[in-house]
Structure 1
Amino acid sequence: MSRQAAERTGRRGETIAAWWLRLHGWKIVGPRVRTPVGEVDLVARRGRTVAFIEVKTRRTEAELDLSIDRRRLVRVAQAAEMLGHRYARQQDFIRIDVILIRPRAWPRHITNVWHG
């Protein structure tokens, strides 16, 4: 897959993930937020919870299972640490989530995946 095709697939997955979150009561407060240490695909809020979300889109369940690793989660956690003051209030709960997208399946939302 070319870099451009992968970029289109990733953006499409992020759009699906954003709609999935909205349907479940979340408000998207930051799509594709860049920091010096990396990018957060989506920042979402529901009540007092702010989630920094990594979205992965793959063709198969097996590919999805291999798409998230410690290195990627560290990058998201570092970016979330840099962005926390922008999106979260002092009393808010901050977490790192992952949403996995594949064709012909509901998105899989895995909550609170990072425990430092």
Structure 2
Amino acid sequence: MRDRRLAERAGRVGETAAAWWLRLKGWRILARRVRTAAGEVDLIARKGNLVAFVEVKRRKTGAELDFAIDQYRLARVAAAAESLAHRYLEAGDDMRIDVILIAPGRALRHIENAWIG
């Protein structure tokens, strides 16, 4: 139980760092930790007419980041994004699924358009 709470806290720290990084890049955070029957979206952000549904993964080491995301997880985020799109997209908007990878001592890595489904 303790490990789960520590992992949860670390995940929230990672999501906060990712949100700040996106803000510095000109994005506006629309929502955090949005749950649907299909899955959860960590961050929903807007920049101009683009809405990004962002999966954030934080790991203890940079080596672990290579295994932090897979097609199964991306498919769940994509399904959740699809069910949420009507809430966050306006006429003429584009959407995409992004991933942000974070590990101590490593530069944050933003993978744009991570899901092409």
Question: 2:51 matched to 1:50?
Answer: yes
Task: Indicate the residue corresponding to 2:20 in structure 1.
Answer: 19
Flag as ranges the 4+ runs of structure 1 deviating above 3 A.
none
The one-letter code matched in structure 1 to 2:80 is A
* Percent sequence identity over aligned pairs: 62
Alignment of 1:102-113 (within 5 A): 102-113=103-114
The one-letter code matched in structure 1 to 2:24 is L
Q: CA deviation at 1:61?
A: 1.7
The one-letter code matched in structure 1 to 2:113 is N
Task: Indicate the residue corresponding to 1:2 in structure 2.
Answer: 3
How far apart are the structure 1 equivalents of 2:20 and 2:50?
18
How far apart are the structure 1 equivalents of 2:62 and 2:106?
9
Task: Indicate the residue corresponding to 1:63 in structure 2.
Answer: 64
Question: 2:86 matched to 1:85?
Answer: yes
How far apart are the structure 1 equivalents of 2:40 and 2:72?
13
User: Gaps (5+ residues) in structure 2?
Assistant: none
How far apart are the structure 2 equivalents of 1:106 and 1:16?
12
Task: Indicate the residue corresponding to 2:95 in structure 1.
Answer: 94
Q: Please list the CA deviations of residues 40-66 of structure 1 after superposition, one character each: whole Å capped at 9, or x if unmatched.
A: 000000000000000000011221110
Which region of structure 1 is more displaced relative to structure 2, 84-93 or 72-81? 84-93
Which region of structure 1 is more displaced relative to structure 2, 58-67 or 38-47? 58-67
CA RMSD of aligned residues (A): 0.9
What is the TM-score when the length of structure 2 is the normalising length? 0.96
How far apart are the structure 1 equivalents of 2:116 and 2:81?
13
How far apart are the structure 2 equivalents of 1:61 and 1:12?
16
The one-letter code matched in structure 2 to 1:15 is T
Q: Please list the CA deviations of residues 8-50 of structure 1 after superposition, one character each: whole Å capped at 9, or x if unmatched.
A: 0000000000000000000000111110111000000000000
Which region of structure 1 is more displaced relative to structure 2, 84-93 or 18-27? 84-93
